[in-house]
Amino acid sequence: MSYQEYQQLVAQSKYLEAARFAEQQAESSRESHESGEFWLTQQARALSHAGEYKAALEVGRRALNLAPDNTFAVAATADALLGLKRLEEALGHYEELLHSPRLLHQGRKGVLECLAGAKRWEQLLERLSGWNLPEEQSLPWRVKAISALGRSEEALESCRRWLELRPHYPSALWQSVELEIRVNGLEATVEKAGRLARIPSLPQVYREIYASLCRRAGKPEEAVKAYETIGAEGEQGRIQKKKAFTLAKSGREQEALPLLEELLKSEPADKYLHSSYAAACRRTGELERAINFYNRLLTLHPEERSLYGRIKGMQNKLEERG
């Protein structure tokens, strides 16, 4: 039952709780005169998931000291090293996993991550060729590598093949847009994206791409219109952020401010929202509005101590203006 409890915590993204649970199990193992490398490995995995890579590396190495041939401990240590950007060390550990049938997929993925992180694109392509992976697995890596090598037209063709295998796949669509800009220019890419955005049967990612390209092309009004056509579909908050940022940067601060305030009520720690809101208030001279809003926000989120500093900063700006 212990491992099932651990898995449940991981499935719920409660990684630090899972790490503490695994640590307790490892201590129990030691008290029972068992080696404990299994639970140390699980603790290291959970810590990496939580972004605590330094602690994960320390625990992973403890597991390896107990069981140097335990490939799962090797994998946990490799993930921690990758998280710390210690790419050469991580690569060596992932290479070990290539000899383990159970961890072969993780090993290959880790090797590719390390080579990409080190910008060793030719070696990455050699690995892809040698492994003979299914196209759906290899194409994202191939597109990334040949794009980085400046082979834009070839990368665009690979991207189109990727989209044949996975129609409307967002990662492939965004990558293809970047490549089309390189090959055909921004104006032509915006025009094409606009045509696709007007097809009602296509997923909303096409409208989001068009809105983003309009922002990039200096067409904020078109961008806002495009964002307004995007339905909720579980991502309204992210879309609303982009709309608010576009309004704030295009001189329409009075429309952006209430939208930014609503977003901050649900995400009071988002530094990008705060930055955009504060800048818009300064540009429009609405410093008192910002102070009043931050005080209201503090009553809603008393745990968000950083708001005191934001209030003080706005008060100082107001005093400077006299």
Nearest to 233 by CA among 205, 252, 258, 263: 205
CB contact at 8 A, 141 and 172: no
pTM: 0.74
CB contact at 8 A, 20 and 9: no
Residue 148 in this model has a pLDDT that exceeds 90: yes
Write the pLDDT tens digit of every residue in 172-191: 999 999 999 999 999 999 99
Cα distance between residue 147 and residue 108, in whole Å: 21
**Number of C-alpha atoms within 13 angstroms, CB side, residue 90?**
26
Cα distance between residue 313 and residue 310, in whole Å: 5
Q: Looking up tokens 């649970």, which residue turns up?
A: 21
More reliable by pLDDT, 99 or 34: 99
Write the pLDDT tens digit of every residue in 239-292: 888 888 888 888 888 888 988 998 898 888 889 999 999 999 999 888 899 999
Cα distance between residue 230 and residue 200, in whole Å: 11
How far, in Å, are 192, 208, 249, 267 from residue 273 at the CA level? 31, 19, 13, 8
Over range 122-136, report the average pLDDT.
Answer: 94
Residues 6+ apart with CB under 8 A from 171: 140
Report pLDDT for 245.
Answer: 87
Write the pLDDT tens digit of every residue in 59-110: 999 999 999 999 999 999 999 999 999 999 999 999 999 999 999 999 999 9
Residue 231 in this model has a pLDDT that exceeds 90: no
Write the pLDDT tens digit of every residue in 287-301: 899 999 999 888 888
Residue 233 in this model has a pLDDT that exceeds 50: no
Report pLDDT for 303.
Answer: 85
What is the DSSP code string of 42-101? HHHHHHHHTT-HHHHHHHHHHHHHH-TT-HHHHHHHHHHHHHTT-HHHHHHHHHHHTT-G
Residue 321 in this model has a pLDDT that exceeds 80: no
Mean pLDDT of the chain: 90
